[in-house]
Structure 1
Amino acid sequence: MKSFIQWTCCLCLAFNHIHAQNILPVIPGDFADPSVIRKGNQYYAVGTSSEWAPHFPIFTSTDMKSWKQSGYLFRKAPEWTSTSFWAPEYFYHNNTYFIYYTARRKSDNVSCIGVATSRYPDKDFTDHGIIIEYGKEAIDAFVFNDNGQLYITWKAYGLDKRPIELLGSRLSADGLRLEGEPFSLMKDYDRIGLEGQSILKKDDYYYLFYSAGNCCGRECNYNVRIARSASIQGPYENYAGNPALGENEQWKCSGHGTFVTAPDGASYYLYHAYNKSSTVFTGRQAMLAKLTWPGANAWPEFRVLSGNARPAGIKDDFRGKVPANRWQWDFRNSTPVVKQSEGKLHLSGSVKPGNAAGIVLSVRPASQHYEMQAAIANENDAVKGLAVYGDANAAIGVGVSGGNVEYWMVKDNKRTVLASLPIKTGAVELKMSVNSQVAVSFRQGAQWQELTPSAPVSPDFLPPWDRSPRIGLHFSGAENEEAVFSRFEVIYK
Structure 2
Amino acid sequence: MVLMLHFRILRVLIWLLVTINVQAQQSEKKPLITIGKFEKIFDQSIGENDTWYINDHCFIQAGDGQWHMIGITGREAPHPWDESNFAHAVAESLTGKWEKKKYALRVRPDLNETVLWAPHIVKHNDLYYMFYCGGHPDHRKYQINLAVSNDLYEWKRYAGNPIFMDGYDARDPFIFRDEINNRWIMYYTATSKPEGGYRIVAAKISYDLLNWSQDRYVVFKDLTDKGTWGGNTESPIVIQREDWYYLFIGPGPNYKTTKVYRSRDPFNWDIEDEVAVLEAHAPEIIQYKDKWYISHCGLKQGGLYLAPLYWHDELEEKLKEK
TM beyond 0.5: yes
Shift of 1:268: 2.3
Q: Name the structure where helix makes up a greater proportion of residues.
A: 2
Matches within 5 A, 1:201-212: 201-212=240-251
What's the CA shift string for 1:238-275, capped at 9, x where partnerless?
555531x21xxxxxxx221223332x23232233156x
Instruction: Name the CA distance, whole Å, in 2 between partners of 1:69 and 1:27.
Output: 8
Kindly provide the amino acid, as one letter, of the partner of residue 311 in structure 2. W
Kindly provide the amino acid, as one letter, of the partner of residue 197 in structure 1. P
CA 1:56/1:184 → structure 2, altered by over 3 Å: closer, same or farther?
same
Kindly provide the amino acid, as one letter, of the partner of residue 143 in structure 2. C
Kindly provide the amino acid, as one letter, of the partner of residue 163 in structure 1. Y
Kindly provide the amino acid, as one letter, of the partner of residue 171 in structure 2. I
Whether the 8 Å CA contact 1:55–1:77 is kept in 2: the answer is no
Instruction: Name the CA distance, whole Å, in 2 between partners of 1:120 and 1:17.
Output: 32
The alignment partner of 1:26 has SS state of: strand
Choose which of 213, 217, 237 in structure 2 pairs with 1:179: 213
Correspondence 1:257 to 2:289:
no
What's the CA shift string for 1:138-162, capped at 9, x where partnerless?
1111110010210111111187452
Instruction: Give the aligned partner of residue 94 of structure 2.
Output: 64
Shift of 1:103: 1.9
Instruction: Name the CA distance, whole Å, in 2 between partners of 1:16 and 1:165.
Output: 25
Shift of 1:200: 0.9
Instruction: Name the CA distance, whole Å, in 1 between partners of 2:139 and 2:172.
Output: 19
Instruction: Name the CA distance, whole Å, in 2 between partners of 1:207 and 1:237.
Output: 13
Shift of 1:27: 1.3
Correspondence 1:285 to 2:303:
yes
Instruction: Name the CA distance, whole Å, in 2 between partners of 1:133 and 1:236.
Output: 25
Kindly provide the amino acid, as one letter, of the partner of residue 257 in structure 2. N
CA 1:200/1:24 → structure 2, altered by over 3 Å: closer, same or farther?
closer
Instruction: Name the CA distance, whole Å, in 2 between partners of 1:53 and 1:203.
Output: 38
CA 1:17/1:89 → structure 2, altered by over 3 Å: closer, same or farther?
closer
What's the CA shift string for 1:42-85, capped at 9, x where partnerless?
11111113654762111111122321122323246263134222
Cα RMSD of the aligned pairs, angstroms, is 2.9
Instruction: Give the aligned partner of residue 9 of structure 1.
Output: none
Instruction: Name the CA distance, whole Å, in 1 between partners of 2:310 and 2:272.
Output: 18
Instruction: Name the CA distance, whole Å, in 1 between partners of 2:158 and 2:124.
Output: 16
Instruction: Name the CA distance, whole Å, in 2 between partners of 1:55 and 1:106.
Output: 17
Instruction: Give the aligned partner of residue 268 of structure 1.
Output: 293
Instruction: Give the aligned partner of residue 472 of structure 1.
Output: none
The alignment partner of 1:187 has SS state of: strand
What's the CA shift string for 1:311-370, capped at 9, x where partnerless?
xxxxxxxxxxxxxxxxxxxxxxxxxxxxxxxxxxxxxxxxxxxxxxxxxxxxxxxxxxxx
CA 1:169/1:196 → structure 2, altered by over 3 Å: closer, same or farther?
same
Equivalenced residue count is: 260
CA 1:202/1:116 → structure 2, altered by over 3 Å: closer, same or farther?
same
Instruction: Give the aligned partner of residue 72 of structure 2.
Output: 48
Whether the 8 Å CA contact 1:186–1:235 is kept in 2: the answer is yes
Shift of 1:190: 2.3
TM-score w.r.t. the length of structure 1 is 0.48
CA 1:201/1:210 → structure 2, altered by over 3 Å: closer, same or farther?
same
Instruction: Name the CA distance, whole Å, in 1 between partners of 2:285 and 2:115.
Output: 24
Instruction: Name the CA distance, whole Å, in 2 between partners of 1:290 and 1:75.
Output: 32
Instruction: Name the CA distance, whole Å, in 2 between partners of 1:189 and 1:284.
Output: 33
Instruction: Give the aligned partner of residue 167 of structure 1.
Output: 202
Percent identical among aligned pairs is 18
CA 1:240/1:170 → structure 2, altered by over 3 Å: closer, same or farther?
closer
Matches within 5 A, 1:64-83: 64-65=94-95, 66-75=97-106, 77=108, 79-83=110-114
Choose which of 147, 150, 160 in structure 2 pairs with 1:116: 147
Shift of 1:236: 4.3
Instruction: Name the CA distance, whole Å, in 1 between partners of 2:269 and 2:143.
Output: 26
Instruction: Give the aligned partner of residue 314 of structure 2.
Output: 296
Correspondence 1:103 to 2:121:
no
Kindly provide the amino acid, as one letter, of the partner of residue 220 in structure 2. M
Instruction: Name the CA distance, whole Å, in 2 between partners of 1:134 and 1:75.
Output: 23
Instruction: Name the CA distance, whole Å, in 1 between partners of 2:214 and 2:315.
Output: 31
Shift of 1:185: 1.1
- Where structure 2 has 5 or more consecutive residues not aligned to the other structure, the ranges are 1-32, 45-52, 75-80, 226-230, 318-322
Q: Which has the higher contact order (CA 8 A, sep 6+)?
A: 2
The alignment partner of 2:54 has SS state of: coil
Correspondence 1:135 to 2:167:
yes
CA 1:126/1:235 → structure 2, altered by over 3 Å: closer, same or farther?
closer
- Where structure 1 has 5 or more consecutive residues not aligned to the other structure, the ranges are 1-14, 215-219, 247-253, 275-279, 300-493
Instruction: Give the aligned partner of residue 8 of structure 2.
Output: none
Instruction: Give the aligned partner of residue 35 of structure 1.
Output: 58
